[in-house]
Every structure is written in structure tokens, then in C-alpha cells.
């Protein structure tokens, strides 16, 4: 009997302790006498970045003693699953990194993340005002928050705040360049092609005795080069495919344009772009498309090729790994004087825009305003300087003398069309046939034949899914519209429209017009 | 059945006491959670709804005292709850109908009618005619309400959608001329915007340009919506050789959206138009 009583007493004590702890944890994450805990979940596990976040958290805690910052760094391969579990289980950190290259993220962001419009249209209090300031938080970013991660085209709303500029860069072995007597960059595509001969002439071979090629490749490194090559010769399409005259070619423009017969894979610019890609693949190490990112980097460090493409953030570890001097520059793309491709070139391809990355969003929670404040702090003057200092990465916010100025990054025509063509509308057909571009008995014409035959059905299905998602988005907005109207102090019969609500309705109406437009299009373009 | 006062019976009683205690403590814990940051009336629920958190707003409305405001909130939350289900939509419709029949708060009738129209228009498939009926009732019964203005915009979408794809320019223009225009400038701006986009879709740039000019004049707009408008206006005006209009829109865009990705292309366009004007 005594044993039993002891057992019951233990159960009661443990239950009481559990509830007290749970209650304390809860109050610690909301308000009241305890500290507020802000957690940041991210997958950027580079030591330099973690160190930055640790220091930034400490700095924020010093000026806001009631706040505690904690980072949760989760390895990228398991991040998406972890993120979903946390969100569905209502345990999500207040701030989370997200990226659209992770499948299904767009839907998750739409449903669970905070819309940041009202903050980005105001100045960032943590920014030291420069000449002509204060400017809106949005305008302090080098890309004006105009990236797929930060701005949802579907909801026409801002959801993310980026910390760095992504963007792709061309890295090369400066030591080898000097040895080979090659003129310093930037090179045009033709000049880059000639590098193969120059390297042969000096008998440059790698450790295994294989001739050194102008470029090492991997699926990742080649993607960045192909993207820039594609963008360099398809610029006229930015005007001809622009369905609604806003100088922004979206997936819808491309998909509808294809079904309308405004372009296909035999269109001159498209064919030229894939020819250029095939030609450039001969400058890379064999089997590049089968190699992962790390294999490519290893080949570069082993001097099997003189250059490599990659993200701008790769520079810091390339420099750590390579036993030679590494430099970065513009990708060698055709210019207007190119005898074959020059006719399609209107100007430079942008190296500066559309490329912010490492995007953080705020989960809807009682702490959302605090979380936004912390993001403002992170992207303020002091922390952006600290991030650059800790990581060497190009930060997302403009400073007094920007890193872009030092790197002489070009502004130019957008670089997004390759991504749109390969991943919006008919990605399955593209992935099925892309190897035809490189095969000895294949080529761009064979690829184009296949794509033109296989794409219409897939594109139409994709358009249907776009209409369905848009309709879903509009449905979600109705309750928000009613609530925003109700929250306005004067919402009587003759009241004027609140400016915020007017902005929201403006977006809602445009989206609905777009939905109707897609549906009209689908009605007149039946399934082939 | 254990005998009264037996060891088994005593153990059973003790277990029950423990269970009661656990339940009481549990409720205490839960109360702490639910009571946190309570706000008066339904305000917290509306706030959650406005912040895209309909699922969290729903239980608050559902447990609130009976009122017309609660009914409107319930219907809105049912429509916004995730995942969306047909049952929720049907239930929202019933709640709104009850509100319209029973409430003397007439200022809530207009939003209720609007939501009923939206249920038919966007939550149900192929019910445009039913939606149109609600929009027209709203326009007739509450012409001064801002909801009538929103209804006029949505009504235009239904009417334009009915035009056959191959309608000629005059047919489209006369259909547009017959549409009811909203009263408030923000809604009118929206109305002209969607008309302009429809006309562009049909290749009628001349008529579209007039509407785009009105959009710019009527309301400032914000964010990307405004940036797109200025570029569209500049681009359409350029194609119609309206250099002055194009430059004015493009320059406004370059000033207001200094970091927009389209700046490079717009700057080139401005230089090209200026060169052509100088010739």
C-alpha cells in the first residue's frame, strides 16, 4: 500500500512539474515577466554564418534585454521535412529560412508566413540614413526585394527578407591564367573558346596527365553557365513574349505564348541558345552533368580545368580549398560582335539583379512583430557590415560603397528566362529530353523536335494547375478582406476605403482578372 | 466487482482522485494558455482573421456570444479556414443567410451580401449567374456602401468573361460602356485596371491606354502593382507613339522603383524614345 501511495504521489508531482514547466515555457515565448524567446530555423550551416547569427543575436539582446535569440541550424537535406513537421505541429520557430527550390514551399509560405507589406513600405529603424534617405526598407535591398523568395507573385505580397545576394559568378584559376599567358578577363565566349587551344599549346595537363580544359563542370556549375549563355541570346524574347506589357516575362507568358504559337523550340533565339549551350559543353570536363557540386569543386581544386561557375557565396570556400589564386568575374558570354550569336544580343546580362538569397520569413504568431523587428535589425547598417565581415559574402542591402561597385557587377537584361523555360510549364518534358542537346547523335534540332511534340499537353496541364492555385489563393483572401474592413474604425455605409484595404483589393482584383484570363485562354485552347 | 473497502477498491478510488487532480491541473494549465493576451470582444478574432489566420480565429468566433458581428466573423472564418471544405462553405452560406434575415445591423448586410456573392463566384464552380444576382442586389440595396463598389468591379469580371473570344473591338468597347462604374476612386481605379488588361488581351491598345491613364490618375496604388502599372503604361504608350506619356510613366517608375529589375530595360527605352523624338 505504501509503495502504491508513493507511486501516486510521484505521478502527481511529475504531472504538476510538467504543467508548471509547460506554462513557464509558454509564457517565456509570449510576454510577461519572463524573456521573450525568438528562434530562427535555417539551413545555412556554414560556420561563418552561424557565427554571424550568434553575434547578431547577442547584439540584439543587448539593446533589447527582454529578448533572447536562439538559432536552430538544421542540415539542408532534412530541413524541408523538419520545417513541415515544426509548422504542422505548431512548434515552428518564429523566423524560418525558406527557398523555392524546395518543393511545396510556396504553399507553406502562403498559409503560415506573415505578409510583410506594411513593414517593407516603411523605413528600417536600424539603418543609418545615408544621403537622400530615409528610404523604404524594401528599397534598401539591392534587388528591391524583387525575387521569387521574397515576393509572392500569386499573393502579390512580400513574405521574405533576404540577407545576401545570390547570383552566379564565374571563378577562375588566376595562377594558371598567368602561366598560360592568357589575357586577363573578362572574356567573350569566343575568347573563352580559344583558351582550350592556348592551354593545349603550353601543354598544360592535370596531375593524371590529362589535358586541362577551360572549365570544369558539374550539374550545378554548368547550370549557372548555361543560364547566363541562354540569357545572352534570348533577349529579344523578353519583348515578344511579354503578354501584358509589363516587361516581365513570367511562366504564364511563356506557357501561353507557346500554346498560342508565338514561340517554340525552333524559334531562332531558342535554337541559338541551345546551340550555344551544346558548344559550351565541349569546353567542360566529360560527364559534367552526372557530377554533383562537390565533385566539380574538387576537379577545380585539382586543376583539371581553369574555371568553374557557381554561386557568389562559393568564393570563400573555393579560396580555402584551392592551392592557387582564385579570381571571380563575368561569365564569358557572346557579345554583339559574335559572328554567329551576336545578332541575338541586345546588351549585357544582369549580374546584379534578381538574385537575393538566404531568405528569412516570419511565422504568424503572437511574437510576429518582434520577429520582424529582429529581421530589420539583421538587415540594418551595422549587422550587414558584420555579415560581410564574417562571411565575405555580398550582402543584400546597399551600403556606402557597395560590394557590387568593387566587383564591377554589370546591370543588364534579366537572366531568368532559362529557369522559366526549363521549369515552368513543361519541366518533365525538359528533363526527359535535355540530354539530347549534348548527345553526339542528338543536338538542339533533335531536342527541339521532341520538345515541340511533347510540351503542349504538359503546358496546358500546368496552366490548369496555375488557375487552380490562383483560385485557391483568392478564396483565402475573402476572409482577410472582410476582417480588414471590419478592423477599420469607420466602416459605415458611406465610409471611404481604407488605403491598406484598397491596396489589398487592388491585388485581389488583378489576380482575379488573371484567373479569368487563364480560364478564357484554356477555353480557346483545348487539350491537344 | 471489488468489495467495499477492499484494497482493490481503495486503489481504484485513489486512481480516480489522481485522475481528477490531473484533469484540474490540466485545465489550470490550459486556462493560462488560452487566457494569454485576451482582448475585448471579438477584436482578437478579427485581428487573427486579418492576418490570414482564419483557423485560429474560428474557435474564438464560434465561442463568442451570439451577435450579428459574430455571424459575419464566423462566416468569414469558415471561408478562410484551412483546409477549405465544401461543408464549411455551405455552413458559411447558412450563417450569412441567417444574418440577413435576422439582423437589424444593416451595415453588416452589405458585406454579408458580398460574401454570398463571392461564395457563388469563387468558392463554387459555374455559379456566375447566382453571383451576379447577389452583386446586383448589393448594388441596388446599398449603392452608397463600399461593398457596392467592390461588387461593381467583380460584376465587370463576370460580364467581360461572357464575351466570346473572337468579339470585335466595337463589340468589346460597347459592352464596356454599358458596365456600372464604382463610385470611390480606389475601386474605380481597380475597375479601369482590369478593363485595360482585358483590352490588352484582345489587342485593343488604343482603348487600353485610356483606361491605364485613368488608373494612374484615380489612385496611387502601392508596391509591385503600381510598378507594373507604370511600366505597362510606358510600354503601351511607346507602342502607340505616345512618347510624352511613355516618358512620364517610365520616369516616375525609375524614381519610385529605383531597385526594380526592369530599370535597365526601362532606362534603355527612355533613351530610345528621346532619341526618336529628337529626330
Q: Which pLDDT tens digit goes with each residue over B229-246?
A: 999 999 999 999 999 999
Of A174-183, B23-32, B178-187, B228-237, the poorest mean pLDDT is in: B23-32
Range B241-249, long-range pairs (CB < 8 A, 24+ positions) = B242/B209, B243/B273, B243/B276, B243/B277, B245/B209, B245/B213, B246/B273, B247/B273, B247/B274, B249/B216
CA A184 – CA A133 distance, rounded (Å): 39
Strand order in the sheet with A305-311: A213-215, A305-311, A168-173, A326-329
Decide if A357 contacts A164 (C-beta within 8 A): yes
Of B79, B82, B187, the CB nearest to A478: B79
CA A36 – CA A54 distance, rounded (Å): 17
Q: Which residues 153-182 in chain A show a CB within 8 A of chain B? A: 156, 158
CA B17 – CA B12 distance, rounded (Å): 9
A414 in contact with chain B, both atoms CB, cutoff 8 A: yes
CA A506 – CA B153 distance, rounded (Å): 10
Mutation choice for A interface testing from B40, B157, B195, B224 by most A CBs within 10 A: B224
pLDDT band at B38; cut points 50, 70, 90: very low
CA distance B279 to chain A (A): 22
Inter-axis angle of helices B146-162 and A499-524, nearest 10: 10
Decide if A110 contacts A154 (C-beta within 8 A): yes
Q: Which residues 189-248 in chain B show a CB within 8 A of chain A? A: 189-190, 193-194, 197-198, 200-201, 219, 221-225, 228, 231-232, 235-236, 239
Contact (CB<8Å) B79/A475: yes
Decide if B51 contacts B82 (C-beta within 8 A): no
Average pLDDT score, chain A:
87
Q: Which residues of chain A have pLDDT under 50?
A: 28, 31-32
Cα-Cα-Cα-Cα dihedral sign, residues B158, B163, B165, B171 = negative
A132 in contact with chain B, both atoms CB, cutoff 8 A: no
pLDDT number for residue A212: 85
Residues in chain B: 279
Q: Residue B31 pLDDT > 50, yes or no?
A: no
Q: Residue B157 pLDDT > 90, yes or no?
A: yes
pLDDT band at B136; cut points 50, 70, 90: very high
Residues of A in Cβ contact (< 8 Å) with B25: 15-16, 19
Report strand pairing: A305-311 vs A168-173.
Answer: antiparallel
Measured at the alpha carbon of residue B155, what is the angle toward residues B215 and A260, in degrees to the nearest 5? 75
A121 in contact with chain B, both atoms CB, cutoff 8 A: yes
Nearest Cα to Cα of residue A166 among A147, A185, A186: A147
Nearest CA in chain B to A4: B11
B252 in contact with chain A, both atoms CB, cutoff 8 A: no
pLDDT number for residue A239: 93
pLDDT number for residue B35: 36
Average pLDDT score, chain B:
86
Of B18, B77, B197, the CB nearest to A479: B77
Contact (CB<8Å) A482/B49: yes
pTM of the model: 0.81
Contact (CB<8Å) B21/A15: yes
Residues of B in Cβ contact (< 8 Å) with A22: 29
Residues of B in Cβ contact (< 8 Å) with A484: 50
CA distance A284 to chain B (A): 31
pLDDT number for residue A37: 94
B150 in contact with chain A, both atoms CB, cutoff 8 A: yes
User: Which grid coordinates belong to A446?
Assistant: 533533335
Decide if A437 contacts A449 (C-beta within 8 A): no
pLDDT band at B34; cut points 50, 70, 90: very low
CA A307 – CA A213 distance, rounded (Å): 9
C-alpha Rg value of chain A to the nearest Å: 26
| Secondary structure, 3-state, A333-363 | CCCCCCCCCHHHCCCCECCCCCCEEEEEEEE
- Range with top average pLDDT, A7-11, B31-35, B47-51, B191-195: B191-195
Rounded average pLDDT over B1-11? 54
Residues in chain A: 528
Of B54, B150, B236, the CB nearest to A505: B150
Decide if A331 contacts A170 (C-beta within 8 A): yes
- What burial class does residue B160 get, using C-beta atoms within 10 Å of its C-beta: 0-12 exposed, 13-18 middle, 19+ buried? buried
Decide if A373 contacts A380 (C-beta within 8 A): no
CA distance A104 to chain B (A): 16
pLDDT number for residue B188: 94
Q: If you search the block for the grid coordinates 488608373, which residue do you land on? A: B215
Amino acid at each position: 500500500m505504501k509503495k502504491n501511495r508513493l507511486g501516486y504521489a510521484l505521478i502527481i508531482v511529475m504531472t504538476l512539474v510538467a504543467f508548471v514547466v509547460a506554462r513557464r515555457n509558454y509564457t517565456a515565448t509570449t510576454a510577461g515577466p519572463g524573456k521573450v524567446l525568438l528562434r530562427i530555423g535555417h539551413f545555412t550551416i556554414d560556420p561563418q554564418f552561424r557565427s554571424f547569427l550568434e553575434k547578431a543575436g547577442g547584439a540584439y539582446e543587448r539593446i533589447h534585454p527582454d529578448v533572447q535569440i536562439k538559432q536552430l541550424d538544421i542540415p539542408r537535406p532534412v530541413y524541408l521535412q523538419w520545417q513541415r513537421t515544426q509548422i504542422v505541429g505548431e512548434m515552428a520557430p518564429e523566423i524560418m529560412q525558406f527557398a523555392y527550390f524546395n518543393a511545396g514551399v510556396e504553399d507553406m509560405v502562403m498559409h503560415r508566413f506573415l505578409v510583410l507589406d506594411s513593414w517593407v513600405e516603411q523605413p528600417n529603424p536600424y539603418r543609418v540614413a545615408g544621403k537622400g534617405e530615409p528610404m523604404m526598407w524594401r528599397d534598401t535591398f539591392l534587388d528591391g526585394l524583387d525575387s521569387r523568395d521574397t515576393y509572392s507573385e500569386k499573393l502579390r505580397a512580400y513574405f521574405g527578407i533576404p540577407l545576401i545576394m545570390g547570383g552566379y559568378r564565374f571563378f577562375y584559376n588566376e595562377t594558371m591564367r598567368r602561366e598560360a599567358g592568357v589575357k586577363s578577363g573578362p572574356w567573350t565566349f569566343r575568347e573563352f573558346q580559344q583558351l582550350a587551344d592556348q592551354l593545349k599549346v603550353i601543354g598544360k595537363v592535370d596531375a593524371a596527365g590529362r589535358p586541362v580544359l577551360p572549365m570544369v563542370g558539374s550539374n550545378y556549375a554548368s547550370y549557372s553557365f548555361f543560364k547566363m549563355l541562354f540569357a545572352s541570346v534570348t533577349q529579344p524574347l523578353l519583348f515578344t513574349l511579354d503578354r501584358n506589357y509589363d516587361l516581365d516575362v513570367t511562366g504564364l507568358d511563356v506557357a501561353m505564348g507557346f500554346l498560342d504559337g508565338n514561340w517554340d523550340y525552333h524559334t531562332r533565339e531558342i535554337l541559338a541558345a541551345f546551340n550555344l549551350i551544346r558548344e559550351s559543353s565541349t569546353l567542360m570536363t566529360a560527364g559534367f552533368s552526372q557530377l554533383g557540386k562537390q565533385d566539380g569543386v574538387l576537379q577545380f581544386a585539382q586543376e583539371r580545368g581553369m574555371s568553374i561557375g557557381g554561386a557568389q557565396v562559393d568564393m570563400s570556400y573555393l579560396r580555402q580549398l584551392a592551392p592557387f589564386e582564385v579570381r571571380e568575374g563575368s561569365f564569358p558570354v557572346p557579345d554583339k560582335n559574335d559572328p554567329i550569336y551576336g545578332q541575338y544580343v541586345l546588351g549585357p546580362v544582369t549580374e546584379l539583379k534578381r538574385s537575393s538569397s538566404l531568405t528569412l520569413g516570419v511565422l504568424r504568431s503572437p511574437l510576429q512583430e518582434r520577429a520582424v523587428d529582429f529581421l530589420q535589425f539583421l538587415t540594418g547598417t551595422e549587422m550587414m557590415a558584420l555579415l560581410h565581415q564574417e562571411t565575405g559574402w555580398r550582402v543584400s542591402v546597399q551600403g556606402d560603397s557597395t560590394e557590387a561597385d568593387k566587383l564591377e557587377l554589370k546591370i543588364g537584361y534579366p537572366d531568368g528566362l532559362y529557369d522559366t523555360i526549363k521549369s515552368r510549364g513543361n519541366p518533365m518534358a525538359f528533363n526527359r529530353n535535355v540530354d539530347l542537346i549534348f548527345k553526339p547523335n542528338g543536338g538542339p534540332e533533335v531536342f527541339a523536335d521532341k520538345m515541340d511534340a511533347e510540351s503542349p499537353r504538359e503546358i496546358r496541364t500546368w496552366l490548369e494547375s496555375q488557375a487552380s492555385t490562383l483560385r485557391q489563393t483568392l478564396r483565402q483572401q475573402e476572409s482577410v478582406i472582410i476582417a480588414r474592413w471590419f478592423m477599420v474604425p469607420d466602416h459605415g455605409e458611406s465610409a471611404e476605403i481604407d488605403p491598406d484595404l484598397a491596396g489589398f483589393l487592388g491585388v485581389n482584383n488583378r489576380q482575379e482578372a488573371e484567373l479569368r484570363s487563364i480560364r478564357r485562354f484554356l477555353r480557346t485552347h483545348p487539350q491537344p | 466487482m471489488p468489495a467495499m473497502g477492499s484494497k482493490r477498491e481503495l486503489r481504484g478510488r485513489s486512481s480516480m482522485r489522481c485522475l481528477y487532480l490531473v484533469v484540474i491541473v490540466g485545465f489550470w494549465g490550459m486556462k493560462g494558455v488560452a487566457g494569454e493576451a485576451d482582448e475585448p470582444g471579438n477584436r482578437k478574432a478579427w485581428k487573427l482573421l486579418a492576418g490570414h489566420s482564419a483557423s485560429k480565429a474560428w474557435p474564438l468566433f464560434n465561442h463568442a456570444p451570439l451577435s450579428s458581428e459574430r455571424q459575419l466573423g464566423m462566416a468569414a472564418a469558415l471561408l478562410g479556414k484551412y483546409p477549405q471544405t465544401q461543408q464549411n462553405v455551405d455552413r458559411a452560406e447558412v450563417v450569412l443567410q441567417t444574418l440577413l434575415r435576422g439582423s437589424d445591423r444593416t451595415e453588416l448586410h452589405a458585406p454579408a451580401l458580398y460574401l454570398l456573392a463571392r461564395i457563388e463566384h469563387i468558392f463554387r464552380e459555374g455559379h456566375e449567374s447566382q453571383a451576379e444576382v447577389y452583386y446586383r442586389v448589393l448594388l441596388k440595396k446599398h449603392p452608397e456602401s463600399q461593398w457596392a463598389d467592390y461588387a461593381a468591379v467583380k460584376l465587370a469580371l463576370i460580364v467581360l468573361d461572357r464575351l466570346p473570344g473572337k468579339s470585335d473591338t466595337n463589340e468589346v468597347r460597347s459592352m464596356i460602356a454599358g458596365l456600372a462604374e464604382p463610385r470611390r476612386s480606389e475601386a474605380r481605379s481597380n475597375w479601369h485596371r482590369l478593363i485595360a488588361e482585358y483590352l490588352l488581351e484582345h489587342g485593343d491598345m488604343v482603348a487600353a491606354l485610356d483606361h491605364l491613364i485613368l488608373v494612374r490618375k484615380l489612385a496611387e496604388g502601392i508596391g509591385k502593382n503600381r510598378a507594373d502599372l507604370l511600366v505597362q503604361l510606358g510600354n503601351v504608350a511607346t507602342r502607340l507613339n505616345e512618347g510624352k506619356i511613355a516618358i512620364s510613366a517610365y520616369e516616375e517608375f525609375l524614381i519610385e522603383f529605383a531597385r526594380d529589375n526592369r530599370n535597365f530595360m526601362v532606362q534603355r527605352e527612355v533613351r530610345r524614345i528621346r532619341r526618336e523624338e529628337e529626330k
